[in-house]
Structure formats: C-alpha cells, structure tokens
Structure 1
Amino acid sequence: MLAIDLTGKRALVAGVADDQGFGFAIAKALAEAGATVCVGTWPPAMKIFTTMLQRGKMNASLTLSSGEKLAFEKIYPLDADYDTLADATDELRESRRYRDYDDFSIDGVARAMATDFGEPCLDIVVHSLANGPEVKKPLLETSRAGYLAAVGVSTYSFTSMVQRFGPLLRPGGSFLALTYMASERVVPGYGGGMSSAKAALESDTRLLAYEAGRRWGHRVNVLSAGALASRAASAIGFIADMIDYTSRNAPLPEPISADDVGHTAAFLCSPLAAAITGTCVYVDKGFHAMGVAVDREAAGGK
C-alpha cells in the first residue's frame, strides 16, 4: 500500500496557537504520518495555548486515529516580525506579554532548535502565519506602515525562515507556506496590503525553490487554501459569506475542512512529492478554476 510515511522526520510548524486553524491541522496530519512536531507560537498567545494544553482543553482535537494523543515535542515562542532579537525594541522585550521569553525571533528559534536537537535536526518547516494590521481597510485607505507590516510578517518572514532554517534541514528537506486566492483575484474586504503580501509570497516561493534547491537540495512550495472560519480568518469579518459563496460556486460545491489542507500539506512535505517544488497547490474544491459564478439559474448552475 502506498502511504505517506514521515517516520523519523521532525517538523516545525510556525503559527499554531489553537486547535482551529490550518497550522494545527497540518501539525496533526504530519504527526498522523509519523513525524515528531514542534510548533512556533506568537508570544502573546503562548500562555493561553500552553495552559489549554496542560488542562486538557484540546484533548479531543489532539487525538490521533491510533487513539494516541498528539504531543508537541517543543513549543517555541515565535514572533515572525523579528528576524533577530536585536530588531525588537526594549519596550516590547520588557512588556508583560514578552518579558518571560529569552529570544522569540526567527533566528532565536533556529538557534534554540540547533541547541535542543543538534545540526541538522529538521526535515520540514511550515510557515502558517500572517498578519495585516489594516486588513479591513481598502487598499486605497491603507497606510504605508500598514502595507509594509503585512508584507513583513506575511511574506518576508518566510524568506527569513528559509535563510535561517535551511542549514538545519537534513537533505531533501521541505518548506511549505500558506497563501490565499486574493493574491491573484480581487476579494473585496481582504485589504491592508494582504493581497499584495500573498502575491509576493507566491513569487518568492518560486525563487526560493530555485535558490534553496541549488544550495541545499530542499524543496519550497506554497499551498493556496480556501476559506475556513478559523479564529484568525474570522477577524476579517466576512469569512462566513466567503465560505457560503465559494461553496455554492466551486466545482465541488461544499466547504473545505482544515483536514483537507492538513492532508495535502503532509503529502507535499513527504517523499511522495519529491519532484514537486516551486509550485502553488490549490485546496479549495476547485473554486480557483471558476471564471463566472454559477449560483444562478441563468448561468446554468445546478
């Protein structure tokens, strides 16, 4: 039987702070395939996340098909807005939500993993994080600071992670990021520079695939997921309408699940996808292929 086998592999999934989003689903799918999983969590959410884990609030979500419970090998504080700790202001580092963590930068997590596990120590790195402080603003009303913040956290952080984690991955390593269809089509309400950030992320993926492939032999791909009512996506304000609209107009007229994304991610990070790199894979029930809405009788919809 042909199966996804990640036995003996170690993964880092950056952007896990609850059990609802794509990051958690990917972490669970990787564990189902046999990988050990570390996660990177935004420092302000770290205590809530770890407390919920300790109190068993996520036990049902953590249960694997075998009946065993997913246990994260390590949980690292990670703020992808900072490449090194020196980039963070003293005020931020001393604030209540950050002061308990020594080094929450991308470089800090890479060095911590090298200390904890040696070098090389990784096989898979998943970038499942994004932030646009002005995402609810139309592009015409977005400030330069808001636009650059969206690109910095949502896009450049992936390049920074490939730079710093590339040397830590064993031969044949895999990097994966998450994007959204607003990178190539207009999604009113998805503003603040986030559509531009996702377009840049997809472009960077192609170039990073070339450079990381030639330098280390690693693969770099991006997964374009459909609409899901995760806690982060719900903050945009119209996610329920997007799920309804895309479900009515997709070739497979139904919502996606987080597991759909997790399973595809596990495949892309596995040896079964050894010849796939520099590619954007859609997990949206085929909605990206549609050019005309079909939820009307006049359009021949069924």
Structure 2
Amino acid sequence: MTSSFLQGKKGLVIGIANDQSIAYGCAKAFRQQGAELAVTYLNEKARPHVQPLAEELGAEIFAPCNVSHPGELEGVFEAIEARWGKLDFLLHSIAFCPMDDLHGRVVDSSAEGFKTAMDVSCHSFIRMAKLAEPLMAEGGSLLAVSYYGAEKVVSHYNVMGPVKAALETTGRYLAAELGPQQIRVNILSPGPIMTRAASGIGHFDELMHHAEEHTPVRHLADINDVGHAAAFLASDAARSISATTFYIDGGYHAISG
C-alpha cells in the first residue's frame, strides 16, 4: 500500500453488516488511505457476512460487538489497547429500533421501543467516546452516521427522526467537551442509501426516487462517497473541523420539498 493521508493511523469501524453497508464503504476508504483497522461484527449470525470483508480490509482486530450486551463494547476497546495502545479515529454506524415502533407513529411509540432505539443508536456513541478518550492522548476523530430525517420530517422515518436528532446534538456536545484534548466529533449525514438497515423503513424506494429527482446533482450518494468524506474527516487535514453535521447527499438537504 502506498503512503497516504491516514498512514500510521489506527481506526475502529463498528457497523459493517455486509458489502452494502455504509460502514464498509468508510472502512474501504480508511484502508485505501493507509489506516490500520479494527472491525466488529454484531453476532455469530452476522460473522460469516463480515469476516471476509474484515480479511479483505486486513483488519488487525476482529471482534464481536453488540452494544446491548454488557461488556462486549468494553472488550473491543480492551483489545485495541492491548494491540495498539492508542486509537486515532472511530466510526459509529449502528442503529436499531423495534419494528413495531419503527413502522408506527411517533406518538404511538412505546417507552421500551424508544429507549432501545435511543440506547443503540445514540447512547452507544457516548459510551464509545468515553472508552476512546484515554486512547486518544494525541487527539483523534469520532464519527457517527445520521440522516436528513433528524432535521426535517421524512415520511416513514418515524421514531428514528427524534433518535437521530439526539445523535446529532450529542455529537455537538461531545465535540465541545472533548475538543480541549484535540478530539474532534463530526456527524456524517448521507442521503438515502439502500442498506440492510434502510430496507426496514417503509416505502424507502419511493424516498430514494424522490431524493434522486430533487437532488441538485441528480444522483444519489453511495457508500463510497460517504467513505471518502469519512476518510477526510478522520485525517489531519480536517483538524479544525468539529461539531459539524457533514452532508454527503448531492445538496438534497438544501432543497425545499
């Protein structure tokens, strides 16, 4: 691998489910730019889909991580500390909401469903930041993935809208708190991309068609586009960019209607 702008950097990628995952697009870009990676998989059912990708990426650490299971997230960071003794960047690209709550109105969402969605999709990022902080003595970059539904009401996005809004606000607060240690926190906000997670959202194909018609560049972003943006934000070239929601959507967020 030729020298590039993430050469020597160590990064953690959480959220690869298959080769259509946004997290995989980001991991490819990180690796192409020279980073060494730690990659996680959700559970044994997911492992056969993720392990070949981790091997392709040359991941030095490959570990299970279901943030709902006590100790698994901590175990990942323990492995990173033992292997590398440091961490330069991480990507949080996970979200979950029980199907009944995801497909129902926000006003009808259950307390338990809302709590689960918030814990997996938002509070886990806080936990990752806390675990990463001592490993980023020389500064670092924390990235999480959101969506336009955090800012505007998007049909069928339902309870994930408030949850992603919380994630974006959390990113700004973490940026303020960790900034003195030169740890930057930014949120990636792609346009609609057909991933396994997105397939659970009702009428998502209609949403994608609408976005493509109204996006200024007349095409949707893909996982590689998101990856290029993530690699830049993980690099020293972005050392003065923090507390920002970074849109990778061809300008769709700026268009009314």
TM-score by length of 2: 0.93
Counterpart position of 2:208? 243
Moved more, 133-142 or 154-163: 133-142
- For 2:224 and 2:176, the matched residues in 1 are separated by 29
Residue type at the aligned position of 1:280: T
Superposed structure 1 runs of 4+ greater than 2 Å apart: 44-51
1:170-204 per-residue CA deviation (whole Å, 9 max, x = no partner) reads: 4121100010111111112112x211110011111
Instruction: Write the mapping of 1:115-264 to structure 2, written as runs, cut at 5 A.
Output: 115-117=82-84, 119=85, 121-133=86-98, 134-191=101-158, 193-214=159-180, 216-264=181-229
- For 1:124 and 1:30, the matched residues in 2 are separated by 10
Larger radius of gyration, structure 1 or 2? 1
1:131-177 per-residue CA deviation (whole Å, 9 max, x = no partner) reads: 11121222122101111111110000001100011111241211000
Counterpart position of 1:75? 62
Question: Which structure 1 residue ranges, 5 or more long, are not aligned?
Answer: 63-68, 86-103, 293-302
**Higher RCO (CA < 8 A, seq sep 6+):** 2
Q: Give yes or no for contact 2:41–2:47 (8 Å, CA) kept in 1.
A: no
- For 2:44 and 2:164, the matched residues in 1 are separated by 24
Residue type at the aligned position of 1:163: K
Q: Give yes or no for contact 1:124–1:269 (8 Å, CA) kept in 2.
A: yes
The yes-or-no answer on 1:7 pairing with 2:7 is yes
- For 1:21 and 1:231, the matched residues in 2 are separated by 7
Residues 13 and 218 of structure 1: CA distance in aligned 2, closer, same or farther (over 3 Å): same
Root-mean-square deviation (CA, aligned residues, Å) is 1.8
Instruction: Write the mapping of 1:29-44 to structure 2, written as runs, cut at 5 A.
Output: 29-44=29-44
Number of corresponding residues: 253
- 1:252 is displaced (CA, Å) by 1.2
- For 1:45 and 1:130, the matched residues in 2 are separated by 17
- SS across alignment from 1:125: strand
Question: Which structure 2 residue ranges, 5 or more long, are not aligned?
Answer: none
- For 1:287 and 1:233, the matched residues in 2 are separated by 18
- For 2:109 and 2:103, the matched residues in 1 are separated by 9
Q: Give yes or no for contact 1:228–1:239 (8 Å, CA) kept in 2.
A: no
- 1:70 is displaced (CA, Å) by 2.6
